[in-house]
Structure formats: structure tokens, C-alpha cells
Amino acid sequence: MKPSQYNHYIPLEDDKNILYNTMSGAILIVDEDARNSIEQIQEVEAELPQDILNNFRQNGVVVETNEKELLKFRDRYNTMRYDPQRLSFGLTPTARCNLSCGYCWQRIDQSLVEKHDQVTTMSESTLEGVLLFVKQTVEALNATNLPIFFFGGEPLMAKELVFRILEDLAQWSEEHSVGFNTTFYTNCTLFDQSFLDRLQKYTVNLVKTTLDGPQEIHDQYRHYKNGEGTYEHIVTNIGMLLDAGINVEIQFNINRHYEHMPELFDDLSERGLKQITVAGYPVYDPPIAIQEVQKTYGLLDESFPIPQSQFAIPFKDVPEVRTQIYRWAFEKGFKLPPPDLGLLRCSAVSHYHTIIDPSGDVYKCVATMLLKFMRVGRIHENGYFEHYPFFYEWVDNDPTYVEPCQSCSLLPSCWGGCIFGRKLIGVSHVCEVSQFCGEEYIKMYLEQKYPEKLKFLKME
């Protein structure tokens, strides 16, 4: 046996360590004796009790001496991304939006909405083709579950289309003994009681919405087209959703005003909204972020001047700032999502993950929605999915063939960084735009989830 190349240790006091493995996703508390046994497993294997050795092996922290873990990861990576049970469908009934957020790169020209609504809202023929495609795909893959999510634009700008889709797919799923559930990505300004009453008959897993900080900061960026802020309306509707028994996740945008995030958490806490989950996502200024990455990876000269964004922080600062914001949320008692260890489930990697816009164009990542140069295909009116050449470029993303990734111990929880970023910029890997949560986050999550077990183990 030998220790896994994907083991990581986080020191605690009293000779204890958090051991996590980025391949298996295992998180263990081990003392120094156990750590030494793992690191010196080749010398002490014969002396260890069989149950302890089996525990090490089952958690993936020790592996066979002749095992090539990179090949194991490659196999698991490809098995996961071609797993038909991981299919999902993102449906965009409309590209229209009732807001005018200052940093949005997915907005559409208002004149296009006014003159060509059939382009910005899904037509009857496109809808029929999309529904047919969804059903045919589920049947062809013999999938046991049909998960969809609504995206936009703002999906609730087309409420009747939303219910048309829900009714059709819910009925079909019941007739075919397939599970059916949905998630909403929404700015959360258009919920009302009548809509929620109609929604109760369907399984809604989650509503994801966005806040940019406390009201003063948020309203600068996320406002209606007349300039009126949206903070109060969103927070009120979050309370209404929670009262209706619907789970809510607040995606806080990491922007240059991040130091004000404690004020947001204080306000939500005072309003009794601590039962929500919070998740941090960076806001990028695409022209500037592209130049930053190109400069970092030697595609631009070091002397090339890069302007400062009005809303985004430098992309290399995102991991540290994200951790700090999570620390504030943790200290305020908000629920943290589990750390993404083991085989990270970025939907954009899955072969059977499709996001469809109002015209039937298909994308692989929500960040690419409505960016027509990022289309990977099109759904035709007969349900046929035409794959564009870029589809095959997108799915050709195996990081185990990228030399710097091959020896990286974070590979199973990073996957070479954001695929969108890699394709957009033309690099093989982007370490700084990775989904790996970081060691500080792992410690915070464990403190929150297992407070009694870790009460006497002070984090360094």
C-alpha cells in the first residue's frame, strides 16, 4: 500500500489533523499516530489491525502500491460525465428581464424585445420541440429522474409558459414513473402569493436568487429599469418563499464592495432569514478578466496595462475574498453548503446537461447563456438536437491530459478550472478560477456541521 497522492492535512491543536482526500471526498479527524501510519503505510502495513487498514482503504487515503491514481480519476471523471442519471435541462422561457443590472453581460437589446418578441420569448413551435427533446432524452437514457431548472432573462416574465412546461412535464413524468423536480434561477422580484399557490402542486427543490450586498450597495447594481432599487422587494419575497416551505439559496455576488457583506448578513439575521443557504459567486468584468488571465498565463506582456473594473475584483483575489465572506456568514450563523470534494459535480461537464434558450439554441453553462458564440447546438421543432462543432470542442475537456494538472493533488476537486474560462481565453487550465473551496472553508463547514465533535479541537 501507499498513501494517496490526493491526501491533504489541516493541523488542529492537541496533535489532531483534518485529513481530506480530493478524490474520494472523505474527511477524517486523525491523530499524529494515524497520520504517521498513513504516510508510512509501506513500512507499517503488516502491523496495522485489519479493520484500521480497511478503513484507510475504503476512504481512499491509502491505495495499492502499483495503483496509478491519475488513471483512476480519469475513469471516474469520464464515468460521471457520461452518466445518464446526471442529466439535467435548463429551460429559458424568455430572455426578457425586468431589471437593468449594471454588470449583466447577458442582457438583450430592448428594441429587440419590442419589435421581435417571438425571438426573445419561446414560441409555440420551439416549446413543442423542446418538450419533445426532453422526453425523448429521458426515455432514450432510461433515466429515473427528470430535473429541470428555469433560467433567463427572468423566467417569471413568462409565468404562463413556466406553468405550461411544469404541467406538461409533471404529467408525462407521472405517466412514465419518472421523478420530476424543478429549480428556479430568478431575481426574485416577481413572486406573488397567487403564483406560489399555483406552484404548490409541483416539486420545487430550490429557488436561487442574488444579492450584491446590503441595500445601499445592492441597489446600486441590481435595480429596475427606472433606477429603483430591488433589495427590499427581493428580501420580502425570500421571506414569502420560506413561509411557503420552499428552500432558498442566496448567491451573493463577490464584488469590489465585499467588505460590506457583514451588514447584509446582519440585516438578513434581524429579519429572521438565517435558515437560507448562502453561496458566493464572483462577478467578472469579461474584457478585463480575460486580459488578467492572459497576462497571468503569459499570453500578454507583463507591461500591458489592465484597467480597474467598476464592480469586479481582480480574478486572482477571488478565492481569498470568497473565503473571508464565508467566514463572516459562518460567524453570523448562516448555513454553508457542503464543500465540493471528491468528484466535483459541475453540471457544465456532464454530456447530458443542456440549457436551452428561447430560440432553441443550446448551451452547456449558465454563464454562457445568450452568448451566441458559445452555442453548442440547436433543438429543432421535431425534438432533434443538432450538435454544432463547438459541442465537441466543449466536451473535449479532460484535464488528466493537461500536464500541470496531472501531478496536482487538487485535480479531483478542481478539474482544471472553469471550462467557460478555458474556452473563452484559450488556455488549458485556470487554477485561479477553480471550484475548489479551500481549506479554510472545509474547517468552517466542519465546525458548523459537527460542533460537538470539534468543540474541544481548536482550529489553528
- Give me the domains of the chain, ranges plus CATH numbers: 1-67 (no CATH), 79-392 (3.20.20.70)
Whether the per-residue pLDDT at 457 is higher than 70: the answer is no
Residue 32 has which C-alpha cell? 499524529
**Per-residue pLDDT, 455:** 54
**Per-residue pLDDT, 90:** 98
| Model pLDDT for residues 302-343, shown as the tens digit of each residue | 777 777 778 888 878 888 999 999 999 999 999 888 887 777
- Who contacts 125 (Cβ-Cβ below 8 Å, separation ≥6)? 381
341 and 409 Cβ atoms separated by less than 8 Å = no
Q: What confidence category does residue 51 fall into, taking pLDDT thresholds of 50, 70 and 90?
A: very high
Q: Which helix (H) or strand (E) holds 353?
A: strand 353-356
Q: What is the mean pLDDT of the chain?
A: 90
Whether the per-residue pLDDT at 456 is higher than 60: the answer is no
**Per-residue pLDDT, 430:** 83
**Percentage of the chain exceeding pLDDT 70:** 94
**Percentage of the chain exceeding pLDDT 90:** 67
**Per-residue pLDDT, 394:** 94
| Model pLDDT for residues 122-163, shown as the tens digit of each residue | 999 999 999 999 999 999 999 999 999 999 999 999 999 999
Distance in angstroms (rounded) separating the CA atoms of residues 374 and 66:
42
| Model pLDDT for residues 220-242, shown as the tens digit of each residue | 999 999 999 999 999 999 999 99
CA neighbor of 334 nearest in space, from 460, 210, 444, 183: 444
**Per-residue pLDDT, 311:** 83
**Per-residue pLDDT, 59:** 95
Give the residue-averaged pLDDT of 19-34: 92
The reported pTM is 0.90
Give the residue-averaged pLDDT of 407-424: 89
Whether the per-residue pLDDT at 66 is higher than 70: the answer is yes
- Cβ of 226: how many Cβ atoms within 10 Å? 6
| Count of all residues that appear for the chain in the document | 460
**Per-residue pLDDT, 400:** 95
Least confident of 27-31, 115-119, 207-211, 417-421: 115-119
Distance in angstroms (rounded) separating the CA atoms of residues 320 and 449:
22
| Model pLDDT for residues 273-310, shown as the tens digit of each residue | 998 989 988 887 777 777 877 777 777 787 777 777 78
Distance in angstroms (rounded) separating the CA atoms of residues 200 and 102:
34
